[in-house]
Amino acid sequence: MNINNFPEEILEVVFRHLPLKDRKNASLVCRDWARLAFSRPCLESTELILASSKAADVSPLENSQRKYRFVCLRMDCDGFGTRELEGIRSVMCKFSCTIVRLRFVWDIMEGPFNLKLLLHLLELVPLLKELVVEDCIVNQYDERSLVPRVEMQSYPHLEKLTIPSCLMDNTQFDVARLAPNVKVVNLCTTGRHLWTALHLIGAQIRSMRLKTETKGIFRQLWEIEPYSLEKLHLHRLCSDLMEPSDLKLNDVVVFFSQCRALTVLGLELQISCSVIQLIANTCPTLKSLLVYEIEEGWTLLNILQQFENLKKLAIRVAHFEIKPSGEDLLLPKLKSLTLDGVEFENPFDFFHNLRQFAPGLQSLQFAQYDDSCNETYHLTVLKAVLQLKLPQLTKLILFDNTSYFPSHVFNQFNLFPKLKELRLAYYGLSAWNRSIVVPGVEKISLDIYELTAFQLRNLLKMFPSLVTLDAVEPEDPLNFGIDDLPRTSLLCDFNVRKRGYNILDEWAL
């Protein structure tokens, strides 16, 4: 079918999803495409990115007929002068009536976050609906860098906020005053100045995402009245909920019982199974959960059966003894399972039961970190994993940075008929039989300390359907080089990253 025969409405949707550079190239094809590529709907979805280092000359924007709704201001140079500030100000003034989303990125390593500058720019966009603040350098908040006499104004149209720690920990920043009608909050904080603001706006929030690195600060959360709460993501809910006898659990029960519309709940728990049982009785709609430091692994799984909608589960630092007889477990909707640092009395017993109580599992991540265990134990666990019969499994992640991956077991991956993505993080790869072929896998990610070009060549032969090969550069670059692999660009997309980036996904809600 000729694309020119598509209705103009469909072409506008296509152009709307193109980056501005590609849209510009498409506009050179013909007059109709030039008109549609820069039509009003397309222009409204385009984000204007302006860096402070290049803000001195904004004359092309002054004559522009576009109406930008999304603007990104990247502060990437220290000590920008009057001309740069005037350039940024003129852009904000020009689009002040159309901007609904502002992304303010602080990318200056030398200086602390400039709260006064952010508030000054917000005065120019009174109709702003969404504010996203990013601190690329992850500056730590320092009370000594306070700017005196910072005045906070209210913006009643602000409905969405994304605020990093450098702002939430600032005593002069008042999120409740800034956005009195906010409905969606995504906050990172150490918790020093968080709860007063949330108490003022808690009853109207629909979606709340809190992330903190400080233990024991969630105890005041349970006093918020979450009548309108529909989504809740909590990170590091740790030391303030330890035993059912704790009086704070009464507030927790009341909190969850008020979340009538709560459909997506993510918790990170370092608490006893008895507390998890209490939460299961109160909020059975939970869909994603992370727990760690659990001694009674089978007891935990038995409790989790009460969460009928549980789709994503991560267990870190836990112990599984032999499965008690007479207990039939079933997690029918579980799609993703992460096991990090989990010890088994009998690995084959656990993974044999896994295929029974999680038959629809699509993603499995298993990581071993315990250096005290001998190599035989690690190999036994790996064999137990590879003998799983999970017909729906599409993604498998295996991590063990203390040992070599036994390459002769590559053939076991053929037991997973729908496996498309494989990720390995090991110290090295042992020798293997070249006749092994795994036709189904399309993407492989490798984080191997001792990786050679010879091994990569064999991997390309072993996985004929490979579309993407993603590798981390080994410690010894003499054993590895892209120049030694001239055929990789013809067979698949080949990406090499510098060491220090972990291929394993962080468990995020």
442 within 8 A of 420, measured Cβ to Cβ? yes
Instruction: Flag whether pLDDT at 367 surpasses 70.
Output: yes
Same domain, 15 and 93: no
Whether the pLDDT of residue 487 is over 80: the answer is no
For residue 72, what are the CA distances in angstroms to 37, 68, 134, 163?
Answer: 21, 11, 11, 15
Quick check: 160 and 129 in contact, CB under 8 A?
yes
Residue 439: pLDDT band with limits 50, 70, 90 = confident
Q: What is the mean pLDDT of residues 144-163?
A: 78
Buried b (16+ CB within 10 A) or exposed e, 209-237: bbbbeeeebbebbbebebebbbbbbbbbb
Look at residue 335 and give its three-state secondary structure.
Answer: coil
The phi and psi torsions of 68 (rounded to 5 degrees) equal: -75, 130
Radius of gyration of the chain from its Cα atoms, rounded to whole angstroms: 27
pLDDT digits (tens, 9 = 90+) for 207-224: 877 776 655 556 666 666
- Give the per-residue pLDDT at 129: 92
* Measured distance CA(346)–CA(133) in Å, rounded: 48
- Is there a domain that residue 71 lies in? yes
End of a domain among 138, 158, 181? 138
Q: How many domains does the chain have?
A: 3
Question: Residues 54, 124: one domain?
Answer: yes
Instruction: Report the largest interatomic distance among the alpha carbons of the chain, rounded to a whole angstrom.
Output: 77
Residue 506 confidence (pLDDT): 43
Flag whether 255 is in a domain: no
Residue 145 lies in a domain: no
Residue 105 in domain: yes
Residues 6+ apart with CB under 8 A from 237: 218, 267, 268, 269, 270, 271
User: How many angstroms separate the CA atoms of 83 and 77, rounded?
Assistant: 13
The burial class, CB within 10 Å (0-12 / 13-18 / 19+), for 276 is buried
Residue 486 pLDDT more than 70?
no
Average pLDDT, the chain: 76
| Measured distance CA(336)–CA(365) in Å, rounded | 8
Start-to-end Cα distance in the chain: 41
Residues 242-259 have a mean pLDDT of 56
Looking at the fold, whether 84 and 38 belong to one and the same domain comes out as: no
Same domain as 91, residue 51: yes
User: Nearest 5°: phi and psi at 73?
Assistant: -105, 115
Whether residue 230 is contained in a domain is answered as: no
Between 53 and 443, whose confidence is greater?
443
Residue 82 shares a structural domain with residue 16: no
**54 and 76: one domain?**
yes
Q: Is residue 370 part of a domain?
A: no
Measured CA distances, 52 to 75, 117, 197 (Å) = 5, 12, 31
What's the pLDDT at 479? Answer: 54
pLDDT of residue 508: 35
Q: Is the pLDDT of residue 282 over 80?
A: no
The predicted model gives 422-436 an average pLDDT of 82
State whether 74 and 20 are in the same domain: no
pTM, whole model, 2 decimals? 0.62
| 29 and 65 fall within a common domain | no
Residue 457 lies in a domain: yes
Q: Is residue 264 scored above 50 in pLDDT? A: no
**Full residue range of the structural domain in which residue 436 is found:** 404-410+432-508
According to the model, what pLDDT value does residue 117 have? 86
Considering the domain boundaries, does residue 223 fall inside one? no
7 and 77, same structural domain? no
Q: State whether 14 and 55 are in the same domain.
A: no
Give pLDDT tens digits for 183-200: 888 888 776 666 666 665
The per-residue pLDDT for 355 is 85
Give the domain CATH number at 30.
1.20.1280
Domain's final residue, options 138, 173, 199: 138
Question: 52 and 41: one domain?
Answer: no
Residues 23 and 73 in one domain: no
pLDDT at 304: 87
Which residue, 74, 108, 138, sits at the end of a domain? 138
φ, ψ of residue 104 to 5 degrees: the values are -110, 110
